[in-house]
Structure formats: structure tokens, C-alpha cells
Structure 1
Amino acid sequence: MADHKVALRTPRARLGALLALAAVLPAVEAAILAVVGFQAARGLSPQITAVWPYGTYHELRWLFVYHQTIPGFILAFVALSVLRGVLSAAFATLAWPTGTPCPSWQWLLRRNIWVAVLTAVILSPWVALSMAFATTALSWYLLASVLPLLLLAPFLLRAGVVADWWRGLPRIGLVGWAWLNFAVLTFAGALLASVPFRWGVPLAAGVGVVNGLLWRQSVAIAVAPGRVHWRLVPMAPLTVVLTLAALPAVQPVAGYFQDERTGWRPPIIAEPLPDNVPFAVIAIAGHDSEYDGEPAADPRVERYSYRGLDGQDRPIPYTALDTHISLGESAALLAAHVDSLHRRTKRPVALLGHSEGAMVARTYLEKWPQTEVEAALLFSPLVMPGRTYYPPRDIRQGWGVVAGWELRALMAWWNLTDVSDETPDQPFIRSLLADAPFYRNRTLCPVAGVRMVAFLPTVSAIEAPPGEYSRIPVFELPALHGGLLNQAAVADRVLNFLAGEPVERAQEEYALLQRLGAAWQPPPLALRLNPVWSANREADPAFTGKICEAR
């Protein structure tokens, strides 16, 4: 027995134990996901043994989605923090460089449990933001939730092994290894999402071995003697504070790229239609758009109003707050507009919807199948929204209840710079959550008697888990969300489609980008678990990898 203990203290034995531990846990998680057939979460398993803070980010996303009560969340939070602390202390011990004095196991254990709790608290706002992403399927929420990880990782990586980790700048080598682990996890998630389930277990184990090697290198750099730049400055706390302080800037930046305020006049509104277009067209702007009542250049084209029509059947001017109504209410206003426009023009109607406007059009086509609409163009539709859930404000339990309250606190902070007063409980968001099975499964499904096309910016590729995302023709083009409609090439395709020509172009890089985003999305809430969705007839794309399927 004594000889065995001595053998485990040798560098080779410790390295072997490190790599084995780092490989086994991802393999176990990958095996569990394979058994239950959880397609959409396959890219997450390698993160369980990643360096700080990616492992904590991994557990928090599962916890934020899969909890039902506040006490249950607190108990799970404490338990996961303790387990993460124990696991990280073990990794630090096994990865400690030969020739450098190693602290006692008791010190490492206490420290890493404390760091696990601290890291979870620091990361929780960004995990809540990832929940907002999974609810709305807007790519900038995902980017805003992941980018702070890259900023904070080099600081948090040394927190479990260095007493004064919060002072000074991390070494450039530590930054490199932390970011390399992020890249490894990103590509590993893409690979896991691409291979059959039976290959996922050995692949996850292989990535775990890479995690172990990264632990070894990272700990060695973190504890190596040498000069620390700006040693007297509390850089870690400052970075955390500045990162949180920058959060209110996300919405104004995103709104700038949407460009849907008062000046929203894409070519379909600003220019007359050619004579070969047989349709009357209703153009539906997106979330937080505004309308001042200015008519379109062509009398056959009208702006949709989120306040409906006046007594003379003209669209009523509206403000950004008016776009926050539920999708069902918006669809009812659109139904009245379709009837009015068809009656006045005696023409079939085409719908052109952008972002939320695309969801309004799709909701209308589902609820009013007998319609005068014969064509629909969906620009930047939300791809598989409603993948997570949180109950309304007045309900104290339900899936994601704590995540909902953190989102409310986050949005209150956000609204310091956002005049549109975004809230997680606005009717538009609640309608996405209430009818999530439909929007998750059928947004880009064909509708009988209606020619359809979806114009997708390539950034939307990271908005949906890998798998099937559309069964209607798609036109994909490099762009940000909201950046397609004003492009000249796209404007020409709109007119071609309205004239009856087929319009379709799928980009090869779209599927690749879709897979590269797999590692950083929260796991979807299984449709069958949520009693709010129990009456739905939809299959679950998170498990089938298919859309437009009935249960």
C-alpha cells in the first residue's frame, strides 16, 4: 500500500490520473445524453472538466434551465459549487508542477469551493442572458453572454491556486491557455454535434484528455514565480464591475444594427413595385420599430401597424412600446389589415415580415389558414425561439423560476439606457414562451397554399442547435440580424419572388456556424416536462433533430 502511494506521487502517475479524471466525466455525460437522445445538448459534455470558469458555466446553464423551485435552486447551487470545488481542487493537485511547493489538500479544497461559489455568482448574470437568448433566439444575446467568459477566464483560472489572484494582470500565457480551452470546447461542440451518438462518448473522452493537458499548463503558469504587472491594482474586481457596467450598452448597440426606428423604409416601401408583381404587400417591421404614418411609395404596399387601422382603414402610427404586444394580438391586427387591403385592391396579399414582424406573419398564417395571403417573405425570423422557460412574475414556482427573477433584475439594469423599457414579462416574450412548442418546431415550416421564403443572415446560424431548421426555401447571406433587407441584391430577390420566380440560396458555411455555436447555448427544456406545454401536439426538435414533426 505504501509503495502504491509513493507511485501515485510520481509526475507520470499524477499526469495519468489527471488525464483519466478529465476524460471520464465528459464521457459519462456524453453517454447519458446518448441514452436519452438529447441531440441539442451534445456539445456541452466536454466542458465538465474544462479549466475555470468554463466548468462552472456548464453547470449553471443546466441548473438555470432545469430547476422548479427557489429552495431547490439554492440547494442545487450549493451542491454543484461544492462538487465543482472538489473537482477543481483535484485537478489543481494533479496538475501542480514538479519542483514547485504545493499547498495542502485542505487549503486547495477550501479555496476551490470558495472560488466555485464566487465564480458562479460572477457568471450568473451572463447565464441569465443566455436564457434570454434561448427564449428569443437573438444572436447578440448569445454573443453578449459568452464574450465576458473570455474576458474573465484568465483571472478566474488562477483564483483556485493563487492567494492574491485578484491583484494585477494575468500573464499573457495564462490568457492564451484560457482562450485555447475556449477554442477547443467550441470545435469539440461542433464535432459532437456532427457525429453519430455512438462516436460521442470516445470523442468527449478525447476532448477531456485535452482539458487535462490544459489544466497542467495553466496551473504551471499560474503558480510560476515571476513579475506580475500592475500588482497593486485590483484588476479582477475591476474587470467584473466594468463588464457588468457595460451590459446596458448591449441593447443600444443591437438596436443600431436593427435600424428599425422611425426611419425604417426598405426598398419595398421606398420604391414603386414593378408592374409584374400581382400582389398587394403588407410590410411588417420588427421589435421596437416605430411608424410615423408616412405612406409607402406604391399604393399597393402598406406598413403594418402594431396599433391596427383607423376608421379609414389606414395604418395608425405607433411607437416602440406598441410592438411589445403578444404575437396573438399582433396576428389579429394583421388579419384585419389583410382583409381590408384585399377588399380595397382586389389583389392577393403578400406579407413581408422582419424579425418580430416575421413571427407575426407566421403566427397569422397558423391561426388564419383560410386567407387571402398567397406569399410570405420572412426576414431574420427567430430560429427556434422558446427553448427555455420561466414562469410569469406572479407565479413562485415552475421551470426556470430563479432564472426569470435574475432576468428581471438584469433587464432593470439594462433599461437604464434603453428607452423601449424591455422586460422579460412583456406580452411579446410571454407569447413566445406560452406557445414555445409551435415556434420551436414550426416557424420555418411550409403552409398550404402560400409560397414562402426565409431570408437568413449568417449570424442566425448560431441561433439554433445543430439539426434541421427550415423546410421552406432559404436565402442566406453574410449579414447581422436586421442587416439584409436594405441590401440591393436582396431587394432584387424580393421583387423576383413577388413576380413568381423561385428564390433560394443556401450557404455552405451556415451549417458550420450552426455547429460552432452548439457548445455555448443552454440546454433546451424538454417539451414533455413543462405542464404549460402539455397540451401541444409537437415533437421536440431538441431530441429528434427534426422540425415540422407531430408528436
Structure 2
Amino acid sequence: MSPSRRLLVLLAVAGAVPLVEAAILVRIGFVSPRALAPQATAVWPYDTYHDLRWVFVYHNSWLTFALGLLAAIALRGALSAILVRLAWPAEVPRPPLGELLRRNLGIAALTALIVAPFAAMSFAASAVALSWFVFVSLGPMIVIAPFLQRMSVGPGGWRGLPSAELFGWSLLDLVVLSVAGGLVWSAGSGWTPVVALGAGMVNGLLWNRTVRAALIPQHVRLARAPVTPIVVVLAMAAPLVVQILQAPPTGTTDTFDPPIFDRPLAASVPYAVILLAGHDSAYDGREAADPRVRRFSYAGIDADGRPLPYSSRSTRQSLTRSALLLAAQIDVLHRRTGRPIALIGESEGAMVARTYLRDRPGSPVQVLMMFSPLARPGRVYYPPPEANSGWGIGTGWLLRGLFGVINLVSASDHTPDEPFIRSLIDDAPFYRYRTMCPVPGVRVIAFLPTVTAVEAPPGPYTGIPVIEVPAFHASFLGRATVSNEMVDFLSGQNLERPRREYGVMQRLGSAWQAPPLTITLNPVWRERLPPGQGSFLQQRLCA
């Protein structure tokens, strides 16, 4: 077969697989994961990342988990062998197909082992809606991609540094997949398969250039050094390092101190205010500067109604338990001041406040301000450790293993089974669809860091006013502008400030999320499904 004919066949094969995946998703009306389709023929390791996220979400027993992994490895190895063979440059002797098949099956198994922790982190991001899990899952793969690409074409690929050209093609691959995912998601249903076909054909061109760059490097630096194993080990340690850096300093006693806590309330504010800190916060029992302002305590109140000091461990209790404690503190403050209540919650604190308002209509609360709320958590599921089956059972144990390793090398003692996290995934129909929805009789607003755009599928995500702030999660509550807007809203002003780039970031990030588990497949969720929700709809917010 001539080189030009082989290139045409390469483009056809690379385009056909995403086309089929996109067509199936369109046929069943499953909108959210369409952005993953272009990765079906991506260059290592993004193709395996694509496969594992599907397997990690859509298995409901140990048997289906094992069979899914084996099938993913076998199919990926076979497909990659075909793509590598078709992309092989004419001036380099080409090994037999059988040799390429054996090599790529081995690389598929090795890549699955390497990528599994990162795919599990993407799964965790869909469980708790925290963007840092997305970045932790994707960042190391960007580093190891050119090293794995060399290994798939020759026996000496584990030694030496990839060429600058190979690094360049690998980074372009990341950009192409991000843009292609956004385009596929944005296209109308009739055009989605066509766009996926085009994205797959671009993958074919990238295979052509990547294989060539891996086989014909200008100069291999450190040609005798086992660079690839070293880089892979360092990349796999990245989540551990991030977790250690994120751990709060030893002896921390108060990790939430917005300006409104240390200043008297403006005369224009007619409410008493309760401030709710987020996960892993701590409180030393200090009183606010204004007697109309109180800190919510995850440990409850004393006999005089004052919030008790608490440690970060107290924030790990279930949202239902925290909402019950909040109810008692609201009642005390409302009776003492005679004023309606405004709740200002950050991260987990916002979820506690939203849970309270779900369960207690007609409460004294008239204002809810949510800072960095978890906008779309509960998109995946894993059963509790005592279960023998259930959707995501294998991934749940993988997460427990990862957190166990992290806990061994850091000061952390978190687990994926903390009551707070289980609250989010067990009651996913509410937190997934109604967190960002109006509450009758309550003025609600959400302040969202723009980084949340990569946490959830694109499209409508809110039924309430939002102010989008260029920031990371839970990092902007003390800003002067935000503090002024907080007082303005408490004083009765209506605010809203969306940002144009938010929707663009949603689309670019859509390719790197795990596919959501459909609500009606999971018996745990089915009975809690809001009226009017469909099994394969991307979302029916606030229905």
C-alpha cells in the first residue's frame, strides 16, 4: 500500500470510531459525555483515559468491572497497533503486524495501570464537583504522554528523552482534544457525529506525525538512561504532593475569617447573619464584631446558644446532620435578635445551607449567599464499603486505595466514605439538579470562581443569579469587591455578573470529565429522582 493510500486509511479508521461513539450517544439522547467521543482514537495516553472513565462509571459488579477492563485493554491494544502500523513512515522498516499487536497490547495494559489513578481522580471530580481533581488527573498525563508514545513504537522507547518535536505534537494533541470536545458538544445533534468524524481524522494526522517523531528523532538525549520509568513514577506521585500541599497547617484553629465577621454590619442590612465555613475549616470560638453575626459551628451550640469551637474533623459529618445543627443555631439567633436570617456559606457551608432550606420551607431564612458552592456534584456513584455490588464498586475501592496511600505520606486522614461525601453521592438527584435553583421566599445568589467551569458538563447550570469571579475554589471571599457586593446584596440590591469566558471554559473542559451515571440506572437514586427527569437527559435543572 502506497504512503498516500495508507494515510487515507489511517484517517478513515481514526475518524470512524469517534463517529460511531458520537452517533450512539446522539441516538440514545445522552448529551453530557459527547465531548469524550474524539478521544476514542486519541494518541496515547488520552485514548486509555477515555476508555477507563467509561469503565469506571459504568460497571455494577466486580465481574463487569474486570470484563470491562480486559475488553478495554484488548480493544485499545488492537486499535493502537492498527493506527501505529498505518502511521508508520515509509523510510523506516516496519515490523510485522503481530509484533506491533503484541507490543501495543502490552503498552495498553501498562498505560491502563498508569492512567487508572488519574481516571479515578476524574471520577472523584464528578462525585464532589471540585476542579482540583480534574487538574490533578490531567496534569501528570500531559507530562508522561510523549514518553508513552515512544514506547508504543519501539523496544527502546523507555530509555532517553523524547524529542522536542514529539513534545510539541503531544501538547498539540491536548489542545486538539480540548477544542474538539467543545465543538462536538456544541454542535447540534444532527452535526455531532460529523464533527466527531472530523475530530477523529485530525487524530489520524496526529498519529501520523507522532509516530514519525517517535521513530525518527533528530537526537535522543540521555539515550541510555531509563527516563520513562522515572518520569512515570514522579507523575504518579503528583496527587500525593498536591494533597500534602493542600493540608492545613498543623495547629490551625480558625480557617475562615471573612471581613463581615470582624466588622459591624452596615445599618442598611436588616438581617442577622450566620456564616458557614467550608470543608476542613476550624473555629476557635471567637465572637464576631457584631452581635447580629454568628459563625455556624459544625459542633453545635452550648447551653447559652453560642457556637462551640470545632476542629476540621467536625466538617466531615453528613449534610443532613450539619443542617440539623444549623436549624438549632438559626432558631436561637432568630429568637435573640428578632430579625430574619441571612445565610452566607462557602463550599460545604453553602451545601449545608442549601440542605437546610430544602428540608425546612417557611423558615426564618430570607437570604442565601453561596460562595463556591458545589454546583453539579453527584454525577457518579460508588457503593459503601460493606456492599458487594453497585454502580462504580471497583472505582470506589480504587479511590479508597489512593486515599490510603495519600494518608500514609501526609498529615491527611480523609476517605472517600466520609459522611459528607456520601451525602453528596447518595442524594445526587437533589445536589446534581437543584443546588443552583430558586428557593421560594428566599433571595438566593451564588458567587462562582471561574475555575468551576471545568467541573461540570457545559450548558445551563443555574436558575439563580450568579456572580462569576476569576479565582480558584473558595479563594475570593475576602476580596474587597466581593465584600462590598455581599453587603449590597444583604442591603436589598439585586446583583448578577456572569462572564463571557465561563461558557467557553465549560466547553473546553468538557472533554476531561468522567461521563455521568444516568440517574434512573442507579436504584439508590431512582426513587429520589425529581419529577420530570429523564434517564439520559444531560440535565433538567430546577424541574
| TM-score normalised by L of structure 1 | 0.96
Q: How does 1:241-280 map to 2 (within 5 A)?
A: 241-254=233-246, 262-280=254-272
Contact map agreement 1:441 1:541 (CA 8 A) in 2:
no
CA distance change for structure 1 residues 225 and 302 in 2, over 3 Å: closer, same or farther?
closer
2:517 corresponds in structure 1 to: 525
Q: How does 1:194-205 map to 2 (within 5 A)?
A: 194-205=186-197
Contact map agreement 1:321 1:421 (CA 8 A) in 2:
no
How far apart, in 2, do the equivalents of 1:227 and 1:195 lie?
42
Pairing 1:291–2:283 present:
yes
2:501 corresponds in structure 1 to: 509
How far apart, in 1, do the equivalents of 2:197 and 2:274 lie?
53
Per-residue deviation, 1:398: 0.7
Moved over 6 A (4+): none
1:318 corresponds in structure 2 to: 310
How far apart, in 1, do the equivalents of 2:349 and 2:218 lie?
57
Among 473, 476, 479, the residue aligned to 1:481? 473
Per-residue deviation, 1:261: 6.1
2:389 corresponds in structure 1 to: 397
1:414 corresponds in structure 2 to: 406
1:466 corresponds in structure 2 to: 458
Contact map agreement 1:135 1:432 (CA 8 A) in 2:
yes
How far apart, in 1, do the equivalents of 2:534 and 2:465 lie?
19
CA distance change for structure 1 residues 127 and 434 in 2, over 3 Å: closer, same or farther?
same
Among 443, 446, 453, the residue aligned to 1:451? 443
Per-residue deviation, 1:249: 2.1
Query: How big is each residue's C-alpha offset from its partner over 1:324-370, in whole Å with a ceiling of 9 and x where there is no partner?
Result: 00000000000111111000010000000000000000000001112
Pairing 1:548–2:532 present:
no
1:51 corresponds in structure 2 to: 43
Pairing 1:124–2:97 present:
no
How far apart, in 1, do the equivalents of 2:39 and 2:480 lie?
43
Per-residue deviation, 1:544: 3.4
Contact map agreement 1:140 1:254 (CA 8 A) in 2:
no
Pairing 1:236–2:236 present:
no
The CA RMSD over aligned residues, in Å, is: 1.5
Contact map agreement 2:362 2:441 (CA 8 A) in 1:
no
How far apart, in 2, do the equivalents of 1:450 and 1:136 lie?
25
Per-residue deviation, 1:74: 1.3
CA distance change for structure 1 residues 547 and 281 in 2, over 3 Å: closer, same or farther?
farther
Query: How big is each residue's C-alpha offset from its partner over 1:428-451, in whole Å with a ceiling of 9 and x where there is no partner?
Result: 011111101110000000000000
How far apart, in 2, do the equivalents of 1:470 and 1:452 lie?
11
Contact map agreement 1:22 1:212 (CA 8 A) in 2:
yes
1:302 corresponds in structure 2 to: 294
Among 351, 356, 369, the residue aligned to 2:348? 356
2:18 corresponds in structure 1 to: 26
**Secondary structure of the structure 2 residue equivalent to 1:85:** helix
2:82 corresponds in structure 1 to: 90
2:58 corresponds in structure 1 to: 66
Per-residue deviation, 1:244: 2.2
Contact map agreement 2:346 2:371 (CA 8 A) in 1:
yes
How far apart, in 2, do the equivalents of 1:471 and 1:79 lie?
41
2:69 corresponds in structure 1 to: 77
Query: How big is each residue's C-alpha offset from its partner over 1:135-176, in whole Å with a ceiling of 9 and x where there is no partner?
Result: 010000100001111011001112111111111111111111
1:125 maps to a residue whose letter is P
1:333 corresponds in structure 2 to: 325
Per-residue deviation, 1:263: 3.9
Per-residue deviation, 1:413: 1.5
How far apart, in 1, do the equivalents of 2:224 and 2:248 lie?
39
Structure 2 gap ranges (5+): none
Contact map agreement 2:429 2:519 (CA 8 A) in 1:
yes
Among 407, 425, 428, the residue aligned to 2:417? 425
2:53 maps to a residue whose letter is R
CA distance change for structure 1 residues 410 and 19 in 2, over 3 Å: closer, same or farther?
same
How far apart, in 2, do the equivalents of 1:252 and 1:224 lie?
40
Contact map agreement 1:524 1:542 (CA 8 A) in 2:
no
* Stretch moving more, 371-380 or 230-239: 230-239
How far apart, in 1, do the equivalents of 2:70 and 2:493 lie?
59
**Secondary structure of the structure 1 residue equivalent to 2:177:** helix
2:180 corresponds in structure 1 to: 188
How far apart, in 2, do the equivalents of 1:418 and 1:527 lie?
35
**Secondary structure of the structure 2 residue equivalent to 1:278:** coil
Per-residue deviation, 1:310: 0.8
1:354 maps to a residue whose letter is E
| TM-score normalised by L of structure 2 | 0.97
2:488 corresponds in structure 1 to: 496
How far apart, in 2, do the equivalents of 1:367 and 1:219 lie?
58
2:98 maps to a residue whose letter is Q
Contact map agreement 2:244 2:412 (CA 8 A) in 1:
no
How far apart, in 2, do the equivalents of 1:369 and 1:516 lie?
38
Contact map agreement 1:432 1:439 (CA 8 A) in 2:
yes
Per-residue deviation, 1:419: 3.2
Query: How big is each residue's C-alpha offset from its partner over 1:383-438, in whole Å with a ceiling of 9 and x where there is no partner?
Result: 10000000001112111011000100110112235434110001001111110111
CA distance change for structure 1 residues 38 and 453 in 2, over 3 Å: closer, same or farther?
same
**Secondary structure of the structure 2 residue equivalent to 1:452:** strand
1:217 corresponds in structure 2 to: 209
How far apart, in 1, do the equivalents of 2:18 and 2:528 lie?
33
